[in-house]
Amino acid sequence: MTRQPNDPTAESVPLWRSDTRVSWTATGAETADRALAVETPVALVIDATTVAVMMATPGDLDDLVTGFALTEQLIASVADIADVEIVVQPDGIEARLWLVAGRGTASAERRRAIVGPTGCGLCGIESLAQAVVVPPLVTAAGPQPTPAEILGAMTALSAAQPLSATTRASHAAALWRRGQPLLVREDVGRHNALDKLVGAAARAGIAADDAMLLLTSRVSVEMVQKAARLGVPVIVAVSAPTSLALDCARQAGITLVAVARHDGFQLFNRGDRLAALNAESPADGAMPPRVLGAVLAGGRSRRFGSDKAVSLLHGQRLIDLAVESLAPHVAAVVVCGRRIDGYDCLDDRPAADLGPLGGLAAALHHARANGFDGVLTTGCDMPAFPEATARSLIGATPAIVAGQQLAAYWPTGLADALDDYLASSENRSIRDWADSQGPRVVHAAVPIPNINTPADLANLTASTTAMHATDVAPGGA
């Protein structure tokens, strides 16, 4: 990295300065000096072309330009960078990124001019579609922090912000990794602070898949998008998320913790990544349990006449659709009762050919052994699982969907009871097993399709094709 002609972190470009202010209180007026965070125009330049101009704190600008290029997908990795220059100009600072030969295509295609206050991440885009993009899916299990670790991390962050301590006018973003010091970056702009952190982590070769991202700001959609591109599985913020930020976190599969203060926090998404959650949560179940998803696929498909799990609906296997529809509601998914390449599979318990109950028994024991609180089940012939239905099922007690007993939730505490049932009864009906447990009955607002015969598959194919045709027909909106 080259710095010309001055290092902007040196005294020539300070991070803060003192100025006179008059303070008024009930006891009168007082004149004194106040430390102010320096805010200066920073041009981010890639291969001699300015791609963004923003107001920023003039420190860690090599991290800023690197992180911005990564989160805006102008480069794929730091391997695309040949050099970084920080050049102080009379009216601001240029942070220059030079790319390895041949790596500038993506930058040219995504180039945009941004001139906005405090790192405004959406200024200058050319369409509404660019404002709300589908984020990358974050699948890492993460560090599984305890609530105590979350609170401790935020306390440590408060003590690791020298610019904020001096000026009370900056934001911070940090990576928390168990047993490691916080990696922290500060800036007057929250987007800038996060981009600086992304750049710092990338330049240091620090992976974020086993870390928490700590933010001192509110959580907006751009912050979640940047976090998803960083690949961090857990966000913890001092302030609340916006509605769109929460929607984005759900799309990305990111655990979102906000309003994190010294005495508690609020969980908005994916509580399965927080260790000991239920042990440390209120008894009323305000925080959700850690749930295993199980696709019960051990039936013989007698009425269907062939292997319906691999039958196609709009070009996708039914088993794949079942897994995909279940995955957003759970921490992990297993396929029970058969072997399907590409999935974690469990054999029926205690023996093969026990139908759905054998698969459920295997899932309950697997869940209990691996720290899950319950199992959310579906059938391999059920290609949809509405979110509202999943939320209604999951709780402290067993629950089934009316008329669809395979769509159900079973606490892991029932594992031994199901073993006893299978050992003492010749009845393999999941309906009779459910009746013996007295589950809650949930009425799905949106019917869950169930394919038992080739005619069922043909009807569902026709109906969903017709719905799609209506959606895309000219003037159909």
Question: What are the DSSP calls for 75-129, one per residue?
Answer: -SSGGGEEEEEEEEETTEEEEEEEEPTT--HHHHHH----EETT--TTTT-SSHH
* Paired tokens of 475: 């003037």
190-204 and 61-71 helices, crossing angle to 10°: 90
Closest CA to 381 of 314, 307, 468: 307
Report the distance separating Cα 190 and Cα 329, nearest Å. Answer: 31
Beta bridge partners of 21: 32
Is 336 noted as a catalytic residue in this protein?
no
Residues in CB range of 428: below 8 A, 6 or more apart: 354, 355, 357
Q: Are 400 and 378 in contact (CB under 8 A)?
A: no
Q: Are 76 and 93 in contact (CB under 8 A)?
A: no
* b/e code 166-196 from CB counts within 10 Å (16+ = b): ebebbbbbbbbbeeeebbbbbbbbbbbbbbb
Report the distance separating Cα 288 and Cα 23, nearest Å. Answer: 48
Report the distance separating Cα 264 and Cα 335, nearest Å. Answer: 37
245 CB-contact burial (10 Å; exposed 0-12 / middle 13-18 / buried 19+): buried
Beta bridge partners of 313: 316
Q: Are 83 and 98 in contact (CB under 8 A)?
A: yes
* Paired tokens of 433: 């097993």
The count of residues in the chain is 477
The secondary element (H helix, E strand) that includes residue 63 is helix 61-71
Cα 120 from chain centroid?
A: 22
Type of residue found at 155: T
Q: Are 396 and 413 in contact (CB under 8 A)?
A: no
Beta bridge partners of 116: 54
Q: What is the DSSP letter of 173?
A: E
What amino acid positions are annotated as catalytic residues? 120
